[in-house]
Copies of this chain bind each other. A is one copy, B any other.
């Protein structure tokens, strides 16, 4: 798995997730088996739909964090594998419900589960995956872990409702946007990393550190995703450029451009994002406005700020290949936008 690369090659390639993936590969295989096992049911629709989603080729960042954090803490038990599967189940359940709520037709470049099996099946199989996550957690038997993951689930659900209640409102400002992505994305990253020091019996300081690493990495990830939606390529992200734009999904790049814009620019954003009155030329105009106000670059700067905090959060851990891989993952999260 480990390939020797010269420092020069590495610089040319840029930061990569590969070292982290390589260090976690064996455990991630086991996570995948627990995930497959947990989706089984005599009700055939459950494994069919769950398998479609879970094996749709996501990066599995969240379970990866649980495994990585466990290894960073020197954990040598078995619970991290189950908890990593839990975290992926919670994530998958929210994706299923998200797709129903967003009405977006694609997920990672494939038709979303609800466009194949319908909204009803997505709601109910989402519920099933969520309850399976809790069953797995209970098997692990740590009340501290249950507290972390049930609180995270509750915060995610609250964040989803918050997002729904401000949908298409371009004047929410940066603060509310940050509240949404912390709740919807970063909280589960934080919980995924935090459970590992708990099962490893590590001191409170490491628990706080890993939760902070996960939280800040999650925020950085989401900020970059939101910038990529206006600057990435369809092949890269599995969705077309401008998906958020077409759905009227209010993200930081647009919020910044709106706040910095002239009155007629604000009228444009209100028309396209709030009323969803869009012509073919509007996406190009939107991209020009984002460029004019430096909104994408500044969104990435915000991401760098959180990346720096994620990096410092790991400060108290001794140097190790795993620590270096986790630090490189931060750089990867940010640099993939270039």
Instruction: Decide: A162 and B43 in contact? CB cutoff 8 A.
Output: yes
- Given contacts A131-B150, A138-B146, is CB(A161)–CB(B46) below 8 Å? yes
The complex places the Cα of A228 from the Cα of B154 at a distance, in Å, of 37
Number of interface residues of A (CB under 8 A): 40
Instruction: Decide: B154 and A124 in contact? CB cutoff 8 A.
Output: no
The complex places the Cα of A332 from the Cα of B133 at a distance, in Å, of 37
Instruction: Decide: B121 and A161 in contact? CB cutoff 8 A.
Output: yes
Q: Which of A260-276 contact B (CB under 8 A)?
A: none
- Given contacts A157-B127, A161-B46, is CB(A134)–CB(B150) below 8 Å? yes
Q: Which residues of B contact A101 (CB under 8 A)?
A: 120, 123-124
Q: Is A282 an interface residue (CB 8 A)?
A: no
Q: Which of A111-147 contact B (CB under 8 A)?
A: 119-121, 123-125, 127-128, 130-132, 134-135, 137-138, 141, 143, 146-147
Q: Which of A45-67 contact B (CB under 8 A)?
A: 45-46
Question: Within the complex, what minimum Cβ distance (angstroms) separates A247 from chain B?
Answer: 13
Q: Is A182 an interface residue (CB 8 A)?
A: no
Of residues A132, A141, A151, A164, which shows the largest number of chain B Cβ atoms within 10 Å of its Cβ? A164
Q: Is A100 an interface residue (CB 8 A)?
A: yes
Instruction: Decide: A150 and B123 in contact? CB cutoff 8 A.
Output: no
The residue in chain B whose Cβ has the minimal distance to the Cβ of A133 is B150
Contact of A154 (CB < 8 Å), options: B97, B128, B141, B162: B128
The residue in chain B whose Cβ has the minimal distance to the Cβ of A140 is B143
The complex places the Cα of A153 from the Cα of B136 at a distance, in Å, of 13
Instruction: Decide: B43 and A124 in contact? CB cutoff 8 A.
Output: no
Instruction: Decide: B161 and A45 in contact? CB cutoff 8 A.
Output: yes
The complex places the Cα of A135 from the Cα of B151 at a distance, in Å, of 6
- Given contacts A161-B45, A161-B121, is CB(A138)–CB(B131) below 8 Å? no
Q: Is A204 an interface residue (CB 8 A)?
A: no
Q: Which of A133-181 contact B (CB under 8 A)?
A: 134-135, 137-138, 141, 143, 146-147, 150-151, 153-154, 156-158, 160-162, 164-165
Q: Which residues of B contact A97 (CB under 8 A)?
A: 123-124, 127
Instruction: Decide: B138 and A143 in contact? CB cutoff 8 A.
Output: yes
Q: Is A44 an interface residue (CB 8 A)?
A: yes
Question: Within the complex, what minimum Cβ distance (angstroms) separates A324 from chain B?
Answer: 35
Q: Is A41 an interface residue (CB 8 A)?
A: yes
Q: Which residues of B contact A94 (CB under 8 A)?
A: 127
Of residues A128, A156, A157, which shows the largest number of chain B Cβ atoms within 10 Å of its Cβ? A157
Please, could you name 8 A-B residue pairs with CB atoms under 8 Å apart, sorted by A? A45-B165, A101-B120, A123-B123, A124-B157, A124-B164, A135-B147, A135-B151, A141-B143
Task: Give me 8 other A-B pairs in contact (C-beta within 8 A), A127-B157, A137-B150, A138-B143 excluded.
Answer: A45-B165, A97-B124, A101-B124, A123-B123, A131-B150, A134-B134, A134-B154, A141-B143
